[in-house]
Amino acid sequence: MRKLTIFLCLVALFFQGCDRLKKKKPLVIRDTTITETTSFNTLFFDSSVINTFLNRYPEFASYKQQFIDFYTQRNFELAWFDSAGLSEQAHNFYNLQSNYIGNIGDSTIYNNILEKLYDSLNLKTFTPSSKDLVIANTELLLTGQFFKYASKVYGGSDIDAAELGWFIPRKKIDVTALLDTMINKKVATPEQYVPLNDQYKKLEALVPIYVDKQKQESTDTILFVSKPLRSGDSADIIVQIKRRLYLLQPDIPLDSSGNFDTSLVKATKRFQRSMGLYVDGAIGNRMIAELNVPLEKRIQQLLVNMERMRWMPPENDSNYIVVNIPEYKMHVYDSGRLAFDMNVIVGSAINSTVIFNGNLKYVVFSPYWNVPESIVKKEIMPAMAKDKNYIAKNEMEITGYSGKIPIVRQKPGNKNSLGLVKFLFPNNYNIYFHDTPNRNLFSQSSRSLSHGCIRLGEPKKFAQYLLREDSAIWNSNKIDSAMHLAKEKWVGLKKTIPVFLVYFTAWVDKNGVLNFRKDIYGHDEKMAAKLFSK
C-alpha cells in the first residue's frame, strides 16, 4: 500500500510539471544594441534637403547638378546607408579618401566635419533627436566628398591646363555615373571603371617613401669640386656624396669611407642615368647640383607630374607615339608595348615645343624646307644682307614675296635643315618630326636646340616602322632612294597613328628606376605655384 501511494505521488508530480511546461511563455532574445538611436529605418529623404545642404556647404555648389542627377535617379534613396547604418561602401570610400590624404598629403579634399560625423555614427554618440540631421549631413557630405575626390584624383585639379602650356585635351570624368556604378556594383575603388595612368600609380607609391627620406635628409650642402672625382680618388667630400646617394638609392650598398670605390662608380652611373646626365661614372658639378636638390623639391616634382598624368586621355589605340620633351626621347608603342626608344632634339627655351597631340598621317621623303617667316626675318634676311650669295650657298630659293619679306624654301639635299625625311601630323602649331644634317648634336645630354620641331636621331628606322605593312614596297633600299630625290615625295599612311608631345619631368622607367629631368621650359614652376600656393 505504501509503495502504491509513493507511485501515485510521483505520477501527479510528473503531470503537474508537464502542465507547467505547456504554460511557460516562449523565450524572446532581444538585440539590446538596436534602439531608437541606433536603428536606421528611414532610407529616403526629401529633395529639398539638397538645396539646404548646398547653402550650408557652398564648397560643393559646383556639383549641384551632379547631386540632383544622382539622387533623382535613385528616387532620393540614401546611397551610403543601409538598415544597419553606414554601408560597406561608405567605409570603403572613407578609407580610400583617408589613405589618399595621408599618403599624398593633399589637404585640399580633407573635410573635418565629415570626419566628426563619421566618428559619431561609428561610436553611436549622437542623440535620438539629432539622428536624422546626422544621417542627412553624412549622406550628402559623403556624396560631395566623392565628387570632389573623383574629380581631383581621376581628372586633376581645377586649373587651366592651357594656361600652363598644355594643349592635350584633358581626360573628362562623369562623377555622377562613376558614383552610381560604384554604389550599385559595390566596388571598393572607382579605378575599375576609370583606370589611373600606370605612371601615376607608380609615382603615387613613391610619395610617402620620399616623405620618409626627407625626415632622414641632411641639411648640409655638398660643395662643388675643382675637377671631377673619379674611381680611385679619395676625399672627405666623398663621404657626403655616398651618404646622399645611399639615401636616394638604398639598393646599392655604400660604405662610409672617403674612397671612390667600385660600388660608388655603380651608384654614380645609376644616378647619372636617372637624372639624364652624361653617364661616365665620374662625379662633377652637374651631378653634385642634382644631389643638392632638396627632397621637398623632389616631392613637389612628383606631385606636379602626377597632376599632369591625371590629365592624360585614355589610350584608345594600342599603337601610338609619345615624345617626352624634358627627356629628349621618343617612345614608340606597338600593340600596347614599347617597341623602341629614340633620342630627339626639341625646341629651345625661347622656341619651346608645344605640348599637344595629333595624328601622324604622312611621310615626306626629300622634303623642301619652307622657311617660316619669323626665321626669314630674324636669320635669313640679315645673312642675305651680309652675303649676297647666302641663298645659293645654302641651296635655297626665293619663290615669291610677302610685302617686302621674301618667301624662302630650301631645296632637298644633304644641306636641307629638315634632313632627308619629315613626318607630318597636321596641327595649328606647325610642328612635325624631321631628320637633320647636324647628327653630332644627338651626343649632347641636353638637347633643347631646335626652333620648335622635333629632330629624330634615327629617321630611317622610324620611316621603316611606319611603312612596315608595305615592307615589300618600302624596303631599306627603296627608302634610301626616296631620301635622295631631287623633288619631295609624299607617302600617306594606311592608318594614322596618335602622337602625344608631353612634358614629364618625373617618371619611373622600364627598369623601375625613378627618373627626374630639368624643367627646361619652366612649366613645373608655374604649375607648382598653382598647386602649392595655398
Residues 6+ apart with CB under 8 A from 98: none
Report in angstroms the alpha-carbon separations of 460 from 78, 131, 350, 369.
62, 72, 29, 18
- Positions of E strands within 121-188: none
d(CA 423, CA 239): 50
Q: Answer whether 218's CB lies under 8 Å from 244's CB.
A: yes
Q: Answer whether 90's CB lies under 8 Å from 114's CB.
A: no
pLDDT for the residue 40: 56
Which residues, in sequence order, are bridge partners of residue 402?
Answer: 405
The structure's pTM equals 0.86
Per-domain residue ranges of the chain: 48-195, 218-293, 317-368+411-527
pLDDT for the residue 141: 96
Active site residues: 434, 453
What grid cell was written down for 123?
A: 561610436
**Letter for the amino acid at 314?**
P
SS3 504: coil
Residues 6+ apart with CB under 8 A from 428: none
Residues 16, 22, 24: CA angle, nearest 5 degrees? 100
Residues 6+ apart with CB under 8 A from 27: none
Q: Answer whether 26's CB lies under 8 Å from 33's CB.
A: no
d(CA 140, CA 146): 10
Report in angstroms the alpha-carbon separations of 394 from 258, 389, 455.
55, 9, 19
Is 477 exposed, middle or buried (CB count within 10 Å of its CB: 0-12, 13-18, 19+)? exposed
Whether domain 218-293 has CATH 3.40.50.10490: the reply is: no
Residue with cell 509513493: 6
pLDDT for the residue 370: 93
Q: Answer whether 377's CB lies under 8 Å from 408's CB.
A: no
d(CA 301, CA 324): 16
Architecture, CATH, for domain 317-368+411-527: Beta Barrel (2.40)
pLDDT for the residue 30: 34
Half-sphere exposure of 308 (CA within 13 A, CB side): 28
d(CA 289, CA 341): 27
Largest distance between two CA atoms of the chain? 154
d(CA 421, CA 481): 11
What grid cell was written down for 331?
A: 617612345
d(CA 303, CA 297): 10
Q: What is the pLDDT along the chain (534 residues), one digit of tens a residue?
A: 444 344 334 334 333 444 433 333 333 333 333 344 445 556 888 888 999 999 999 999 999 999 999 999 999 999 999 888 899 999 999 999 999 998 888 888 899 999 999 999 888 887 777 788 889 899 999 999 999 999 999 999 888 999 999 999 998 899 999 999 999 888 878 887 888 889 999 999 999 999 999 999 998 999 999 999 999 999 999 999 999 999 999 999 999 999 999 999 999 999 999 999 999 999 999 999 999 999 999 999 999 999 999 999 887 778 999 999 999 999 999 999 999 999 999 999 999 999 999 999 999 999 999 999 989 999 999 999 999 999 999 999 999 999 999 999 999 999 999 999 999 999 999 999 999 999 999 999 999 999 899 999 999 999 999 999 988 899 999 999 999 999 999 999 999 999 999 999 999 999 999 999 999 999 999 999 998 875
Each as own residue / partner, the long-range contacts of residues 332-338 (CB below 8 Å, 24 or more positions apart, any chain) are 332/462, 332/465, 338/510
Distance of CA 415 to the CA centre of its chain: 40
What grid cell was written down for 77?
A: 534613396
pLDDT for the residue 259: 98
Q: Answer whether 361's CB lies under 8 Å from 493's CB.
A: yes
SS3 392: helix
pLDDT for the residue 186: 85
Cα Rg of the chain (Å, integer): 34
Domains 218-293 and 317-368+411-527 share a fold: no
Which residues, in sequence order, are bridge partners of residue 333?
Answer: 320, 338
d(CA 74, CA 149): 21
